[in-house]
Amino acid sequence: MSASKTWLIAGLGNPGPEYAITPHNLGFLTVDRLAARHAIRVTRTEDAALVGLGGIKGSPAVLAKPQTFMNSSGVSVRALCGRYDLGPDNLLLIYDELALPWGNLRVRPKGSAAGHNGVKSVIACLQSQDFARIRIGIHPGYPVDGARYVLTPVRKAQWKEMDELVDQAADAAESVIAEGVEKAMTAYNRRAQGGDQEER
Sign of the alpha-carbon torsion through 158, 161, 163, 166: negative
Q: From CA 36, how far away is CA 166, in angstroms rounded? A: 12
Q: From CA 122, how far away is CA 75, in angstroms rounded? A: 7
Can you spell out the DSSP letters for 142-194? S---HHHHTTSPPPGGGHHHHHHHHHHHHHHHHHHHHH-HHHHHHHH--PPTT
Q: 90: which residues sit within 8 A by CB, 6+ positions away? A: 5, 6, 7, 8, 81
24 given a catalytic annotation: yes
Q: From CA 139, how far away is CA 133, in angstroms rounded? A: 18
Q: Which amino acid is at 117?
A: N
**169 to 120, 145, 163, 185: CA distances (angstroms):** 21, 25, 10, 12
| Catalytic residue ranges | 24
